[in-house]
Structure 1
Amino acid sequence: MPCGPQEAQPEGVSKDLASVYKRMEEWRSEIDSPTTAVSDLPVSGSEIQNSEEATVEEEAADASGYGTSDETLESTPTHAPEDHEVVVDEGVHSAANPGSYGHPEVCRKPCVFFQVGQCENGDACGYCHLRHEKRLRLPDRRQRSVLRKLNKSELLHTFLPILWSEARRAGIVQQAEHVLEILEAALSTQGTPRAAKLVGDDAEYLKDLLLRMSFGSLMAMLLHNMQPGVFVDAARHEMEKLRRTVQVNA
């Protein structure tokens, strides 16, 4: 889907928005019903890790590269995972813990406790237990500064083309379509972005990082930097459903 400026909403766009809003209403009905979610499980030491979203902003201020070392990840201050989990589907992922769903494209960040054989949650852990061939890419100080200066429209204009491209590369366009449609709908409600923020050395430096990231990491970074709201909540919910439908590739 294109993600350029949209000053008016033609009939087709209105229908697409109506479809998205209908899905969001269905989502609200789901979370209002009494269910047992992954996030309702007892919390133990191995759950108190950084969420993907929190890690982006809590990266050490002295970072100078695209990512962090394993030592940096293990020494980062810890927080409980964000509570946007949905009921676990035993289908495709019956052999994997919830954090490993969708590995390696949309899984959670690696469980540092599992890596040293000390994960207390085992099959209920909300972080990935499978091998990651590529190091987790995180923004350095300059890239974080650029991200903080972008408004909602500029964030969506920057991330959406890369998200669509990464979904095609990973072969998950069909599964990712719903969450990307929500973000496209969010973009259609925004004004025209400031062109100066989308070009230049800083913008290119940020895109150089984004082009090296997985679909799941891109989505986590985008949602973390957007202001809270119904579109962000709906996108997080769709991402949890996406993790349960993408085949694990260990």
Structure 2
Amino acid sequence: MENLRYSKTFIDVEEVNESSAVRRAYSAPPVMAPCLQTPKQFVLHQYEQRRTNLQVSNLQLGSQLLAAEDSVISWQVDLSRGSYGHPNICSRPCILFLFNKCHKHDSCGFCHMPHESKPPCLDKQQRDYLKVLPKVTFLKMLVPFVAKRVEGSELDAAVVLQLLKSEISVRSLSSSAPTVYTPRRIGLVLARMSLAGLVSTACTILPQDRFPKLMKKELERLRKVIRAFNLDTLG
């Protein structure tokens, strides 16, 4: 060791012979384990794993489709009274049936078939706007939406459109209606409505009129025709 000089200190220094001191072991980095797979084997392993996951997902998707198909078949076997004509002229969805609490079965007046989303409806402000309009103007506003539903339906629902046009003709003789303008927000809601929804809207805007009653009777007639056809087919 080099010579050290201590002055005015209470530190005790013990000199150790360097030759007798035990050297501290130097730490070594961990040894990396050799890769068991070559890059090609690793890529093949990843490919096989993804392929297995894809097969499992396809099996799960297939089982879900089969379950959905079975549920649709069960709905068709046990249709409620309000389900006939689904989705164009059926009634509103049955809330109790969604929670498996509807005990009326085929006598239920609401639809037991699955609906994609909540049925569209006008809000209070939109309904109040339509009630202020002349009746002929409101009926003319419904014509293009009813015509689209009738043309896109597999049912013979042309009578509903004929009733609407006849009512417009009769009312136009006694009063002149202004040019029909459908507000954008109201038009978006009416465009999403089914034929039954449009008739229900007419009943809401014209509650004390005979025309909505005629439209509702025609829908009930169509539902009875479909019901009778299904019973004959199953029988």
Match of 1:238 in 2: 218
Residues 78 and 105, structure 2, Cα contact 8 Å, conserved in 1: no
Match of 1:194 in 2: 178
- Unaligned stretches of 5+ residues in structure 2: 1-75, 231-235
- Unaligned stretches of 5+ residues in structure 1: 1-92
Give 2:110's match in structure 1, choosing from 105, 119, 127.
127
**Distance (whole Å) between structure 2 residues aligned to residue 240 and residue 211 of structure 1:** 22
Residues 93 and 112, structure 2, Cα contact 8 Å, conserved in 1: yes
* Residues 19-65 of structure 1: CA deviation (Å, up to 9, x unaligned): xxxxxxxxxxxxxxxxxxxxxxxxxxxxxxxxxxxxxxxxxxxxxxx
Q: Aligned AA for 1:230?
A: R
In structure 2, the CA distance between the partners of 1:220 and 1:152, relative to structure 1 (3 Å rule), is: same
> TM-score, with normalisation over the residues of structure 2?
0.57
Kindly report the root-mean-square deviation, in angstroms, between the aligned alpha carbons of the 2 structures: 2.2
1:95: how far off? 4.5
* Residues 152-194 of structure 1: CA deviation (Å, up to 9, x unaligned): 201110001210112212333xx21112212211111113212
Percent identity over paired residues: 27
**Distance (whole Å) between structure 2 residues aligned to residue 244 and residue 151 of structure 1:** 33
**Do structure 1's residue 178 and structure 2's residue 159 form an aligned pair?**
yes
1:110: how far off? 0.6
Match of 1:212 in 2: 192
Match of 2:99 in 1: 116
Residues 137 and 212, structure 1, Cα contact 8 Å, conserved in 2: yes
**Distance (whole Å) between structure 2 residues aligned to residue 115 and residue 227 of structure 1:** 30
Find the structure with the greater CA-based Rg: 2
Runs of 4+ more than 6 Å apart: none
Aligned length: 150
**Do structure 1's residue 165 and structure 2's residue 148 form an aligned pair?**
yes
Residues 156 and 183, structure 1, Cα contact 8 Å, conserved in 2: yes
Q: Aligned AA for 1:205?
A: R
| Structure ranking higher on relative contact order (CA contacts 8 Å, 6+ apart) | 1
1:101: how far off? 0.9
Match of 2:40 in 1: none
1:227: how far off? 4.4
In structure 2, the CA distance between the partners of 1:227 and 1:130, relative to structure 1 (3 Å rule), is: closer
Match of 1:7 in 2: none
Q: Secondary structure at the match of 1:109?
A: coil
